[in-house]
């Protein structure tokens, strides 16, 4: 098969590929809508990557092989395919954002939009978020990360293929295979050290697109002969099983991508390689599925902003009826966008250079608008009461992920202060109490020391395993060993306060189990073994302090909520957003009061804290919940204009002051 024939072959329409797109987009959309059956629907993006690599990589290879490749024509095709619908959705999100978002939310949104226009939003989101965090549900342009990965890939792969074709054409396939192997190794490495980079970055994702390129090169070269019918049936069937199973079985607790993405990638490639099978010709080419595949790009663009804006208004997970309506609306928008935007612009004619200039000018105009929004800090005059609604300055005494020792600056640990000292030891729930406790300690003549680390309970020899931060448990255990050594050796310390989100290990269906010093991997443990480990490690933390005469105060945690109080506060002050919340039926509680959530886990941790501390001299348990909740489990998250919570479970400075209003340190 010569190069021209190859090019013609790659351009032949294959309904089964649109059917694959349909499966992929259904998995992605239903996962984002919160349908439980599709817990691994995020693997649909991997299917898209393979398809994209196969189709576009095949075009590039055939044109390079025939000596007919043009960068201008290539990027003209990409621009006509991607940009019209993209700019339409960008304009829509800008319009809705100005109506619904607070100044700080607009400021963050504008930064993500600028990154999206420059095709670097994957890098922006890798640095600023984690795909599986709840907060990501509130980012209207999060879906653009995969577009950025693709555009970065297609900035590189033509250069690679052109360079190798000029050196020796036989090197093309081996070189792409080497790139895929290196990319896969990069993904495996980043899963342990930087899971967000593994998920979002091109180096860790290139192997998925590269798998499609390898298939296209193979088909247009040594694999051009059709498979025997029985082999085609078997390969397609196995491929379908490999591709679909992850959509239903994967969860956000599984480190991803890497090995967990292999079935989706290999399965998709196997199906593409079997066009004559019954599965491809009949099942995957089923006309409703191929129709969904045709509009999949527009649906991918539209579904996420609609879901995100509704979640912002609700402050919590969407009611099923609202999520279903959002999906229906996004599907309608996708159909309209496909017929009236995508198709007309794809069929448009004209020289590449002028067309690319027009798109570049439009992109620069959008970029300038978002840059102005960012520079204005989100048009604060729209909602004056929300001018200062951004998060508090981050705590400089809390060790972040990647740090396994306490931060010992003069503010965190004043080694030269001769006064008797109080030390606060715990996770981020302890650090939000630090400013108030510091003021109280100083007022009573104590020096204040803060030894905090994110997601690190003050337990000796045990830690929470976080799938998205696999090394955090090891860091936490070492951190706590260092804390105990520092406290035991510092004779100024008279009082030790231990605080944290104690209920974390006891959530139903917990993805974040407690692990011991010798077990850094996530393992299935019984409820009784987790409770025993919790009690044992808590005692291991307390006894060395107790034996050296320190007074130990354990703070039971504040109540948690199943909504974000800051979002609800913003919603109460933004009319259109408040109207949406009322329509969704999520704004029924009196403003400022709501039932606590995660009650079962909190009750278990409270029971275990009491059980552990009971009978220990010099150790007391302080119940912070009683400062915020009444006997009917209604808990205060704000009072008047004073907001007590920065999110579902972290107090603000006002919240800490209110919670600790009756607390006093023991007299010296």
Residue 37 in domain: yes
DSSP per-residue string spanning 597-666 = B-HHHHHHHHHHHHHHHTT-TTEEEEESGGGTB-TTSEEESEETTEE-BSSSS-B-HHHHHHHTTT--PP
Residue 320 sits in the same domain as residue 437? no
Residue 147 sits in the same domain as residue 75? yes
Question: Quick one: average pLDDT of 278-307?
Answer: 97
Nearby residues of 519 by Cβ (< 8 Å), 6 or more positions away: none
Q: Count up the domains in the chain and report the number.
A: 2
Residue 378 sits in the same domain as residue 407? no
Model pLDDT for residues 247-268, shown as the tens digit of each residue: 999 988 788 898 999 999 999 9
Residue 66 in domain: yes
- pLDDT of the residue at 385: 82
Q: How far is CA 4 from the centre of its chain?
A: 44
Residue 132 in domain: yes
Residue 131 sits in the same domain as residue 22? yes
**pLDDT > 70: what percent of the chain?**
93
Instruction: Report the CATH number that the domain containing residue 508 is assigned in CATH.
Output: 3.40.50.1110
Domain endpoint, select from 354, 385, 416? 385
H or E element that contains 448: strand 447-453
Residue 573 in domain: no
Residues 367 and 383: their CA atoms lie apart, in Å, by: 24
Burial string for 87-124 (b: 16+ CB within 10 Å, else e) reads: bbbbebbbebbeebbbbbbbbbbbbbbbbbbebbbbbb
Question: Quick one: average pLDDT of 442-461?
Answer: 94
Local confidence band at 393 (pLDDT 50, 70, 90 cut-offs): low
Model pLDDT for residues 395-430, shown as the tens digit of each residue: 789 998 889 999 989 889 988 889 999 999 999 999
Residue 444 sits in the same domain as residue 379? no
Residue 362 sits in the same domain as residue 492? no
Local confidence band at 472 (pLDDT 50, 70, 90 cut-offs): confident
Residue 581 in domain: no
At CB < 8 A and 24+ separation, what contacts does 28-31 make? 28/300, 28/303, 29/299, 29/300, 29/303, 29/327, 29/330, 30/327, 31/247
Residue 300 sits in the same domain as residue 449? no
Residue 588 has pLDDT above 80, yes or no: no
Residue 372 sits in the same domain as residue 406? no
Local confidence band at 19 (pLDDT 50, 70, 90 cut-offs): very high
H or E element that contains 426: strand 421-426
Residue 189 sits in the same domain as residue 337? yes
What pTM does this model have? 0.89
Domain endpoint, select from 333, 355, 385? 385
- Answer yes or no: are the C-beta atoms of 482 and 458 closer than 8 Å: no
Domain endpoint, select from 358, 385, 412? 385
**Local structure of 557: helix, strand or coil:** coil
Residue 402 sits in the same domain as residue 342? no
**Domain assignment of residue 512, given as a range:** 398-559+597-627
Question: Quick one: average pLDDT of 624-636?
Answer: 89
Bigger pLDDT: 34 vs 254:
34
Residue 91 in domain: yes
Residue 108 in domain: yes
Residue 328 sits in the same domain as residue 407? no
Residue 416 sits in the same domain as residue 328? no
Local confidence band at 226 (pLDDT 50, 70, 90 cut-offs): low
- Answer yes or no: are the C-beta atoms of 306 and 300 closer than 8 Å: no
Residue 411 in domain: yes
């Amino acid at each position: 098969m010569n190069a021209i024939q190859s090019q013609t072959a790659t351009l032949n329409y294959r309904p089964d590929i649109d059917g694959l797109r349909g499966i992929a987009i259904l998995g992605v959309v239903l996962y984002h809508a919160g349908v439980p059956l599709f817990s691994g629907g995020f693997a649909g993006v991997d299917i898209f990557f393979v398809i994209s690599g196969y189709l576009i990589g095949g075009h590039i290879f055939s044109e390079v092989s025939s000596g007919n490749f043009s960068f201008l024509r290539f990027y003209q095709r990409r621009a006509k395919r991607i940009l019209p619908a993209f700019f339409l959705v960008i304009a829509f999100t800008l319009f809705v954002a100005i109506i619904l978002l607070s100044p700080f939310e607009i400021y963050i949104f504008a930064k993500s939009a600028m990154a999206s226009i420059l095709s670097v939003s994957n890098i922006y989101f890798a640095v600023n978020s984690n795909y599986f965090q709840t907060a990501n549900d509130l980012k209207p342009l999060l879906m653009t990360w995969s577009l950025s990965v693709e555009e970065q890939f297609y900035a590189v792969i033509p250069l690679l293929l052109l360079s190798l074709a000029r050196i020796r054409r036989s090197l093309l396939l081996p070189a792409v295979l080497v790139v895929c192997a290196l990319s896969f190794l990069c993904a495996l490495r980043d899963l342990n050290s930087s899971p967000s980079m593994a998920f979002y970055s091109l180096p860790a994702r290139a192997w998925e697109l590269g798998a499609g390129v390898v298939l296209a090169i193979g088909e247009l070269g040594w694999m051009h002969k059709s498979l025997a019918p029985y082999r085609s049936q078997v390969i397609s069937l196995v491929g379908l099983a490999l591709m679909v199973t992850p959509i239903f079985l994967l969860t956000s607790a599984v480190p991803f991508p890497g090995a967990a993405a292999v079935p989706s990638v290999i399965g998709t490639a196997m199906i593409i390689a079997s066009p004559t099978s019954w599965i491809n010709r009949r099942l995957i080419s089923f006309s409703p599925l191929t129709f969904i595949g045709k509009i999949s790009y527009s649906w991918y663009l539209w579904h996420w902003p609609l879901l995100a804006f509704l979640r912002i208004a609700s402050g919590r997970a969407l009611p099923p009826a609202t999520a279903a309506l959002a999906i229906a609306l996004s599907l309608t928008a996708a159909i309209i966008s496909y017929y009236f935007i995508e198709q007309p612009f794809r069929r448009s004619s004209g020289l590449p250079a002028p067309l690319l200039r027009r798109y570049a000018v439009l992109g620069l105009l959008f970029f300038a608008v978002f840059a102005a929004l960012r520079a204005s800090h989100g048009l604060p005059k729209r909602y004056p009461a929300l001018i200062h609604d951004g998060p508090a300055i981050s705590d400089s005494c809390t060790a972040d992920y990647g740090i396994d020792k306490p931060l010992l600056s003069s503010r965190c640990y004043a080694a030269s202060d001769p006064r008797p000292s109080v030390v606060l030891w715990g996770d981020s729930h302890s650090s939000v109490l630090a400013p108030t406790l510091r003021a109280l300690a100083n007022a009573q003549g104590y020096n204040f020391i803060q030894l905090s680390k994110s997601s690190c309970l003050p337990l000796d020899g045990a830690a929470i395993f976080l799938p998205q931060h696999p090394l955090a448990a090891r860091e936490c255990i070492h951190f706590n060993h260092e804390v105990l050594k520092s406290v035991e050796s510092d004779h100024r310390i008279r009082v030790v306060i231990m605080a944290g989100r104690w209920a974390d290990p006891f959530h139903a269906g917990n993805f974040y189990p407690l692990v011991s010093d010798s077990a850094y991997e996530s393992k299935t443990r019984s409820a009784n073994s987790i409770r025993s480990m919790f009690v044992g490690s808590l005692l291991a933390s307390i006894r060395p302090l107790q034996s050296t005469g320190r007074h130990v105060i354990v703070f039971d945690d504040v109540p948690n909520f199943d909504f974000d109080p800051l979002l609800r506060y913003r919603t109460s002050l933004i009319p259109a957003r408040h109207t949406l919340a009322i329509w969704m039926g999520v704004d029924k509680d009196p403003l400022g009061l709501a039932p606590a959530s995660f009650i079962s886990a909190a009750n278990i941790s409270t029971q275990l804290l009491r059980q552990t501390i009971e009978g220990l001299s010099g150790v007391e348990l302080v119940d912070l919940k009683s400062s915020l909740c009444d006997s009917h489990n209604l808990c205060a998250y704000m009072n008047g204009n004073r907001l007590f919570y920065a999110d579902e479970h972290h107090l603000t400075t006002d919240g800490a002051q209110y919670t600790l209003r009756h607390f006093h340190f023991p007299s010296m």
